[in-house]
Structure formats: C-alpha cells, structure tokens
C-alpha cells in the first residue's frame, strides 16, 4: 500500500529519468540564464583585450565603469535615469521580435513621440497639469505607434522588409524633427540649439520620492511587466507567439496575423514614443536634437541581450544604462574617446548573437538526454 | 552666354554633377552587397563597414600622404569585416540580419573610437578627371569633374553583370544563392562560397567609404555616412540583384541626395531638412512599390533570408 502511494507521488517529485523534478526544472531554465551571462563575461573579456591593445588598463576601465555606473547611490540613480528610456526602447524591439519581426528603428518613434508631446504641451499651455501630461503621453504614444505600426503594416500588406524600412523611417523622423524644430515649432528664444517652447514647470514630470530618478523609470518597469503579461498570459500574446513561430500555421488556424502584426508593432512604437515624451517632459523640458541620443539603438542591444523577454529587459536595461552612464567618467579619467562605450556595446552584441548557437547543445540543460550511470 | 549667372539651370546641372559625385559610394556598396546576396546571405553591416572604411582611408592617407594607400587599407579593413560576418554566420542559429545590425553598431563605434584624432587634419584627395575642361562655366566644370572611382565602379558593374552569366565563379555564386542543397550536391561548400562573397562585398564597401572621406564630402566626420550603407542594401533589392541595375539605381539615389544641396545653392532654403531626407523617402517609396506579398521577387536568390 505504501508503495503505491509513493509510486503515485513519484511524478511530482521525480522527473521521467528518475532525477528530482526540482533539479530538472532548474536545469531546463538555467540555460536561458547561464548562456547570456557567459556571453556577457566573454564579451567583457574580449573588450579587456581590446583596451589592453590600445595601451590602457582593463582593470582601471572596469573599476571606472563600476564607479561611474553602479558604485554609489549617486551613480546608481544616474544609471536608473538612463535605464528608463532604454526599457521602453527595448520593448519597441522585443514585442515585434516575438512575432518574428526585426524592427530597429525605435529611434524614430522616440524622436517623433518627443516632438508630438512637446507640441501638445505647448498647445495646451494653461490647462490643468494632469490633463496636459496625460495628453502629452497620448500624443507621444500615438506618434510613435503610428510610425512603427506603419512599418508593421508595410511588412504584412506589402512585404516590405521591416528591418530596412524601420531604419529608413528613423532617418526620415529625425529629418522631420529638425524641420519642425527649426521651423514651425521653434522657440525664437532658442538661439544656439533650436528647440520647441520650454514646458512650464507644472507640466514637467518630477522625481520619484526619495531619489533623483524621474517617474519614467516606474512607467518603463510597468510597461515591461504589462508586456510580459500580454505575451505570456493572454490569448493575443499566445497568438503572436504562434505567428512568430510559423506564419502559415497561424493563418491556417484562422488567426488574424495582419491585425496582430499591426497591433504589436503599433504598441511597440507607442512605448518608444512614450520614451520620447518622457525625455521631453522629465529631462529636456522641450523637444530638440538631443532626443536622437541613441537610446533607440542601445534599446536594440538591450532587447537582444534579454532575448526579447520583457521581464529580462529590466535588469539588462539597468546594466546597459550603467555602462552608458559611466561613459563620461571613462572619457575624463582614462582619456579614452566617448565611443569606447559603443565599442563595448558592439562587442557584447556580437558575442550575444553568437551565443545563440550554443542553445540546445549542452546536455546539462536538457534532462531528456540525461542518463543514469549503469 | 553669361558664364557665372546661369540661374535656375544650375539646379539640374548641380543634380547631374551631384548624382555622379554622390552615387559613387552607393555603386560600390550596392555592387558588393549584390555579390553577397547573390550567394544567399545578407550583410546589413555594410553601413558600419562604410564608416570604418572612411575612417581607415582618411587616417592612412593623413599618415602616409597617399590617398591610394588609404583606399587599399579601407578595402582591406572592409574585407576583414566581411570575412568576420561570413565566418560567424556559418554557425547554426546565428542570424545573418541580426549579426549585420551588430556589425553596423560595432563598425561605427570602432570608427569613432579610432577616428577621434583625425577629425581635424586634412588628407590628400583622390584624383578626379576634369571632363568639363572645355567649358568656361564654373558650374559645368564642377559638375563634370568625375572621380576615377566612379569610372571604376561603372566598369565593375558591367564586368560583374557579364561575369555572373558567363564565368564559372559567377555560376557557383548563383547556385549557392539559389539552393544550398543543389550546391552541396555539386560538391560545393556553401559556407566557403558565402565567406568569399561576403568578404568581397565588405572590401567593396570599404572602397565606398574611402571615396566618402577622400573625395566627397572629402573629410572624416562621425556623420559621414548616415545610412548610405543601409540605403545601398535596400537599393540592391530594387535593382533585382543585377549589377547594372545597381549602377542605375545608385545614380538615381545620388541625384536624390544632391537635391537638397542643389536647391540650397540657388537660394532655396525652405524645407532644407526635408530635401535632405529625400533619398530615405525615395528608398522607402521604391521598396513599397517593388515589394509584393503575393509573389516572390523576380531574380531573387532562393536562399536569401530577407525575402523568405
């Protein structure tokens, strides 16, 4: 009798091969953590080599990077501030990626979102602050959503490659911003750096209590969590994942792939547009050329590092925000060009993509291949 | 005829001259990319290669005093980038488009890193042939000053158009591009062929970069390319992977790129930034017009991931 009870309980505590189920559970998930971390370490090692080759000390570099990005409460706050737009920019890559699309033009949605938000803020000058901030957010999201949603629509209805079209549209967006900021939206008082009218102080987004980090961080984290719920826990996310795996199969199943693509790319662009709105409302105070600061491009790297998992984007954005934040200190202390951070990002990106080839190669991560000795 | 004031005629003339001047990097990058794509790979990283090539050519030309040495160095640097792309993409599950994006960022980053000290000094230019010497009008002379690289690019386009059809190497590249299985059955290793074609594509993109920094615009800045490498990749699709088509499309793009400066030269400053965006808008319109969801593009290599 006792034997049968133990037997019935076996599947819960032991896996198919007789190992503890918990161990198998850990092993199956460890792969998604161990391989990116190993890639990160290898990427940093290669970068050390590069730094040593140009005659600087890698130890000093990483020490400076630590101090500039993570070592003190001050630098952590700085990193978190930079992580805020990265979270949203990375979602602009990760959401379409779940549908199998490689969208790399988030920079354009950020820029236009910022301009649209600034224009809305200027137009509504005098209205109650919560309405203005809300309308600015909606305007930024609409501008970004239309921009990237168009990329998705072109992809589905015209078979236009989304990678190239999104980047072209980013260049067009930046030209459009320059035209608007130097022309119809220009504040005559901005002489050296053409900008839109500065927002009144009551329309600016402030810092979260107890820290020097604006509310954009909370918005970004919330967006990541909601995106994760959308992809993993809703039927739309399920449909998107099927379409991302095999478009034909999804169509055979009767899924509206076109609407899914437009909705997901539109949402992705809306997040990037929101990042632009936050840059205007919380950081710059007006729309100007600083909007094209490269967050859209770093966001691509964040999304790929996180393997397009919205929850994983949160720590990765903090990490890359920190690396970004330490760029200035590296430049001053070590007399290295500001592009040093770009080189590191490029190296990490290549190593991360290369590491894709190792998934499924290691027996340790695949309990189905485990064998008992004897 | 009034030699200095040719008025509005200056616009088409400036566009013609600009088309010849601006198109040259497009010609090299798109022909290089056509070779790569014909073998079934796509290298989006040519944008980074173009920037790195521009920096290398400029730096070497400044140090050595020889623009030709700069050109060769840029081609070699491009070859290295191309070979790296070709090598890393042979591993299973490594995505050629994503690697291209990474190389785009890496190439630009590396160029900015090493290029910092070369933003100030000036390098010797690549020589141009004055086809306009017969004319007294300075605008005509300026428009018909044709760089030797433009002529080399034109000759290369014709040669490759012929070579893809009539040589053994051309046939091998096309077979590998159309079907890896067919190539293997013929005893060819697709990865080796693609390694070579991506390497050659990178070298040509490097030459395109050398033209940017050593002739037009003729100096090294971090904004030297701003997407030209990427537009050239889009242009290859428009040109249906035909080198002669690449040449013609490059001229068209060059003309679009020259529109802004040409209008500015006659005093039209309204909408300057929008004219500046003309090549991007033109590329996008052409991509929309020539893509179709219901049929495969004529002449598309069967193994190309971007059209699958």
Question: Between A160, A163, A165, which is nearest B44 by CB?
Answer: A163
Q: How far apart are the first and last CA of chain B?
A: 57
- Number of A/B CB contacts below 8 angstroms equals 131
Contact B70, B207 (CB under 8 A): no
A133 part of a folded domain: yes
Q: pLDDT truncated to tens, each residue of chain A (374 aa)? A: 444 444 444 445 776 667 788 888 888 888 888 999 999 999 999 999 999 999 999 999 999 999 999 999 999 999 999 999 999 999 999 999 999 999 999 999 999 999 999 999 999 999 999 999 999 999 999 999 999 999 999 999 998 989 999 999 999 999 999 999 988 889 888 888 889 999 999 999 999 998 999 999 999 999 999 999 999 999 999 999 999 888 888 888 888 899 999 999 999 999 999 999 999 999 999 999 999 988 999 999 999 999 999 999 999 999 999 999 999 899 999 999 989 999 999 999 999 999 999 998 888 888 888 876 54
Question: Which chain B residues are closer than 8 Å to A92 by Cβ?
Answer: none
**Which domain, by its residues, includes A223?**
85-311
Question: Between B234, B277, B281, which is nearest A164 by CB?
Answer: B234
Q: Which long-range contacts (CB under 8 A, 24 or more apart) does B114-118 make?
A: B114/B55, B114/B59, B115/B55, B115/B58, B115/B59, B115/B220, B115/B222, B116/A337, B116/A339, B118/B55, B118/B58, B118/B59, B118/B62, B118/B220
* pLDDT in the model for residue A16: 65
Identify any residues that bridge with B130 across adjacent strands, giving them in sequence order.
Answer: B145
- Kindly give, in sequence order, each residue whose CB lies less than 8 Å from that of residue A289, ignoring residues fewer than 6 positions away: A177, A178, A181, A193, A194
Provide mean pLDDT across the span B79-107: 94
- Kindly give, in sequence order, each residue whose CB lies less than 8 Å from that of residue A200, ignoring residues fewer than 6 positions away: A125
CATH value at residue B70: 1.10.3470
Q: How many domains does chain B have?
A: 1
- Min distance B285 CA to chain A CA atoms (Å): 10
State residue B130 phi and psi, 5-degree precision. -80, 85
- Min distance A285 CA to chain B CA atoms (Å): 23
- Kindly give, in sequence order, each residue whose CB lies less than 8 Å from that of residue B152, ignoring residues fewer than 6 positions away: none
Q: How does DSSP classify residue A206?
A: -
Q: Determine the residue of chain B that is closest to A181 in CA distance.
A: B273
Q: How does DSSP classify residue B89?
A: T
Say yes or no to pLDDT of B3 above 60.
no
Q: Do B102 and A350 touch (CB under 8 A)?
A: yes
What pTM value is reported for the model? 0.91
Q: Do A353 and B102 touch (CB under 8 A)?
A: yes
Angle, alpha carbons A26-A31-A35 (nearest 5°): 145
B1 part of a folded domain: no
Question: Which chain B residues are closer than 8 Å to A175 by Cβ?
Answer: 273-274, 276-277, 280
Question: Between A169, A342, A349, which is nearest B112 by CB?
Answer: A342
Q: Determine the residue of chain B that is closest to A355 in CA distance.
A: B94
Say yes or no to pLDDT of B42 above 70.
yes
Contact A280, A121 (CB under 8 A): yes
Cα of B92 vs its chain's centroid, Å: 29
**CA-wise closest residue to A271 among A315, A306, A225:** A225
Q: Determine the residue of chain A that is closest to B113 in CA distance.
A: A339
DSSP string, A361-372: T-GGG-GGG---
Q: How does DSSP classify residue B135?
A: -
Question: Which chain A residues are closer than 8 Å to B220 by Cβ?
Answer: none
Cβ count within 10 A of residue B53: 40
Question: Between B98, B107, B233, which is nearest A353 by CB?
Answer: B98
DSSP element (H, E) containing B147:
strand B145-147
Average pLDDT of the residues of chain B: 89
Rounded Cα–Cα distance for residues B107 and B116 (Å):
14
Question: Between A154, A169, A179, which is nearest B271 by CB?
Answer: A179
- Kindly give, in sequence order, each residue whose CB lies less than 8 Å from that of residue A323, ignoring residues fewer than 6 positions away: A65, A69, A341, A344, A345
Q: Do B113 and A342 touch (CB under 8 A)?
A: yes
Q: Do A350 and B99 touch (CB under 8 A)?
A: yes
Question: Which chain B residues are closer than 8 Å to A349 by Cβ?
Answer: 101-102, 105-106
Give the model confidence (pLDDT) of B243-256 as tens digits. 999 999 999 888 88
Rounded Cα–Cα distance for residues A212 and A222 (Å):
19
- Kindly give, in sequence order, each residue whose CB lies less than 8 Å from that of residue B70, ignoring residues fewer than 6 positions away: B56, B57, B58, B59, B60, B61, B64, B123, B210, B213, B214
Q: Do B273 and A359 touch (CB under 8 A)?
A: no
Q: Do A157 and B94 touch (CB under 8 A)?
A: no
Rounded Cα–Cα distance for residues B190 and B60 (Å):
35
* pLDDT in the model for residue B270: 76
Q: Do B88 and A175 touch (CB under 8 A)?
A: no
Rounded Cα–Cα distance for residues B249 and B230 (Å):
14
Q: Do A356 and B94 touch (CB under 8 A)?
A: yes
- Min distance A156 CA to chain B CA atoms (Å): 7
Contact A124, A135 (CB under 8 A): yes
Tokens standing for residue B246: 């690449």
- Min distance B149 CA to chain A CA atoms (Å): 27
DSSP element (H, E) containing B145:
strand B145-147
Rounded Cα–Cα distance for residues A348 and B109 (Å):
12
Mutate which of B98, B191, B220, B283 to test chain A, going by most A C-beta atoms within 10 A? B98
- Min distance A242 CA to chain B CA atoms (Å): 18
Using 50, 70 and 90 to split pLDDT, how confident is the model at B137? confident
Q: Do B227 and A171 touch (CB under 8 A)?
A: yes
Question: Between A168, A169, A297, which is nearest B105 by CB?
Answer: A297
**CA-wise closest residue to A86 among A283, A230, A291, A294:** A294
Distances (CA, A) of A52 to A45, A46, B115, B294: 11, 10, 18, 53
Q: How far apart are the first and last CA of chain A?
A: 29
Cα of A335 vs its chain's centroid, Å: 30
DSSP element (H, E) containing A227:
helix A216-233
Q: What percent of chain B has pLDDT over 90?
A: 57
Question: Quick one: A333 exposed, middle or buried, by C-beta within 10 A (0-12, 13-18, 19+)?
Answer: middle
Question: Which chain A residues are closer than 8 Å to B283 by Cβ?
Answer: 168
Cβ count within 10 A of residue A49: 11
Q: Determine the residue of chain B that is closest to A359 in CA distance.
A: B93
Tokens standing for residue B255: 């003309």
- Min distance A321 CA to chain B CA atoms (Å): 17
Question: Between B97, B105, B280, which is nearest A349 by CB?
Answer: B105
Rounded Cα–Cα distance for residues A226 and A232 (Å):
10
B194-227 in b/e burial notation, b at 16+ Cβ within 10 A?
bbbbbbbbbbbbbbbbbbbbbbbeebbbeebbbb
B98 part of a folded domain: yes
Question: Between A342, A353, A359, which is nearest B99 by CB?
Answer: A353
DSSP string, A147-184: HHHHHHHHHHHH---HHHHHHHHHHHHHHHHHHHHHTT
**Which domain, by its residues, includes B129?**
7-307
B118 part of a folded domain: yes
Q: How many domains does chain A have?
A: 1
* pLDDT in the model for residue A341: 93
B188 part of a folded domain: yes
Rounded Cα–Cα distance for residues A56 and A341 (Å):
14
A259 part of a folded domain: yes
Q: Do B92 and A357 touch (CB under 8 A)?
A: yes
Question: Which chain B residues are closer than 8 Å to A336 by Cβ?
Answer: 113
Give the model confidence (pLDDT) of B175-225 as tens digits. 999 999 999 999 999 999 999 999 999 999 999 999 999 998 888 998 888
Give the CA count within 13 Å in the CB-facing half-sphere of B178: 12
Which residue, chain included where needed, has tokens 């911003």?
A177
Q: Do B291 and A160 touch (CB under 8 A)?
A: yes
Rounded Cα–Cα distance for residues A167 and A103 (Å):
8
Cβ count within 10 A of residue B64: 14
Rounded Cα–Cα distance for residues A83 and A32 (Å):
22
Q: How does DSSP classify residue A195?
A: B
Mutate which of B102, B104, B283 to test chain A, going by most A C-beta atoms within 10 A? B102
Question: Which chain B residues are closer than 8 Å to A47 by Cβ?
Answer: none
Q: Do A179 and B98 touch (CB under 8 A)?
A: no
Q: How does DSSP classify residue A284?
A: I
**CA-wise closest residue to B231 among B207, B210, B212, B257:** B257
Angle, alpha carbons A77-A81-A84 (nearest 5°): 135
Q: Do B98 and A156 touch (CB under 8 A)?
A: no
* pLDDT in the model for residue B5: 57
**CA-wise closest residue to B39 among B247, B240, B179:** B179
Contact B300, B176 (CB under 8 A): no
Q: What residues of chain A have any CB closer than 8 angstroms to a CB in chain B?
A: 102, 104, 154, 156-161, 163-165, 167-169, 171-172, 175-176, 178-179, 182, 297, 300-301, 304, 336-343, 345-347, 349-350, 353-354, 356-357, 359
Question: Which chain B residues are closer than 8 Å to A168 by Cβ?
Answer: 227, 230-231, 234, 280, 283-284, 287
Per DSSP, which regions of chain A are E strands? none
């Amino acid at each position: 009798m006792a034997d049968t009870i133990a037997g019935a309980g076996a599947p819960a505590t032991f896996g198919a091969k007789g190992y503890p189920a918990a161990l198998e559970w850990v092993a199956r998930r460890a792969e998604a953590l161990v391989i990116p971390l190993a890639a990160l370490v290898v990427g940093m090692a290669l970068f050390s080599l590069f730094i040593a080759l140009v005659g600087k000390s890698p130890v000093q570099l990483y020490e400076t990077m630590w101090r500039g990005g993570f070592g003190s409460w001050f630098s952590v706050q700085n990193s978190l501030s930079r992580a805020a737009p990265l979270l949203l920019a990375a979602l602009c890559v990760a959401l379409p990626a779940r549908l199998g699309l490689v969208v790399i033009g988030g920079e354009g949605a950020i820029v236009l979102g910022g301009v649209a938000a600034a224009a809305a803020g200027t137009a509504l000058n005098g209205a109650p602050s919560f309405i203005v901030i809300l309308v600015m957010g909606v305007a930024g999201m609409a501008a970004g959503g239309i921009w990237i949603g168009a990329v998705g629509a072109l992809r589905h209805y015209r078979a236009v490659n989304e990678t190239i079209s999104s980047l072209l549209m980013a260049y067009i967006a930046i030209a459009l911003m320059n035209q608007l900021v130097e022309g119809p939206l220009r504040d005559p008082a901005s002489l050296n750096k053409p900008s839109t009218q500065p927002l009144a102080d009551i329309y600016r987004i402030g810092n979260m209590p107890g820290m020097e980090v604006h509310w954009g961080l909370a918005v970004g984290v919330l967006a990541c969590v909601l995106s994760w719920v959308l992809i993993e826990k809703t039927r739309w996310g399920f449909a998107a994942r099927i379409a991302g795996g095999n478009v034909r199969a999804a169509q055979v199943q009767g899924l509206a792939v076109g609407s899914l693509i437009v909705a997901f790319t539109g949402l992705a662009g809306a997040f990037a547009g929101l990042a632009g709105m936050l840059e205007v409302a919380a950081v710059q105070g007006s729309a100007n050329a600083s909007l094209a600061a490269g967050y859209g491009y770093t966001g691509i790297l964040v999304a790929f590092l996180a393997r397009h998992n919205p929850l994983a984007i949160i720590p990765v954005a903090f990490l890359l925000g920190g690396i970004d934040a330490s760029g200035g200190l590296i430049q001053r202390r070590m007399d290295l060009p500001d592009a040093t951070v770009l080189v590191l990002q490029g190296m990490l990106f290549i190593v991360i993509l290369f590491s894709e080839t190792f998934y499924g190669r290691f027996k340790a991560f695949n309990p189905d291949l485990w064998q008992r000795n004897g | 005829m009034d030699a200095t004031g040719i008025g509005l005629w200056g616009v088409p003339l400036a566009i013609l001259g600009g088309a010849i001047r601006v198109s040259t990097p497009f010609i090299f990058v798109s022909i290089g990319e056509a070779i790569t794509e014909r073998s079934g790979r796509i290298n989006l990283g040519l944008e980074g290669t173009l920037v790195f090539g521009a920096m290398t050519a400029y730096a070497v030309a400044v140090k050595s005093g020889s623009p030709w040495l700069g050109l060769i160095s840029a081609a070699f640097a491009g070859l290295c980038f191309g070979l790296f792309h070709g090598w890393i993409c042979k591993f299973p599950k490594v995505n050629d488009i994503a690697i291209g994006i990474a190389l785009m960022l890496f190439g630009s980053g590396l160029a900015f890193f090493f290029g910092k000290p070369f933003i100030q000094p000036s390098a010797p230019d690549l020589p141009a042939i004055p086809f306009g010497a017969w004319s007294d009008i300075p605008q005509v002379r300026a428009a018909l000053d044709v760089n030797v690289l433009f002529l080399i690019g034109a000759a290369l386009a014709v040669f490759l158009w012929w070579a893809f059809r009539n040589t053994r190497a051309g046939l091998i590249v096309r077979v590998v591009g159309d079907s890896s299985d067919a190539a293997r059955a013929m005893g060819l290793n697709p990865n080796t062929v693609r390694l070579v074609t991506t390497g050659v594509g990178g070298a040509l993109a490097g030459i395109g970069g050398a033209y940017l920094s050593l002739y037009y615009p003729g100096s090294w800045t971090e904004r030297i390319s701003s997407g030209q490498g990427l537009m050239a990749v889009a242009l290859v699709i428009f040109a249906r992977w035909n080198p002669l088509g690449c040449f013609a499309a490059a001229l068209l793009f060059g003309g679009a790129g020259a529109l802004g400066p040409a209008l500015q030269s006659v005093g039209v400053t309204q909408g300057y930034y929008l004219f500046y965006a003309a090549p991007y808008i033109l590329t996008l319109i052409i991509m929309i017009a020539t893509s179709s969801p219901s049929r495969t593009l004529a002449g598309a290599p069967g193994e190309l991931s971007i059209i699958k």
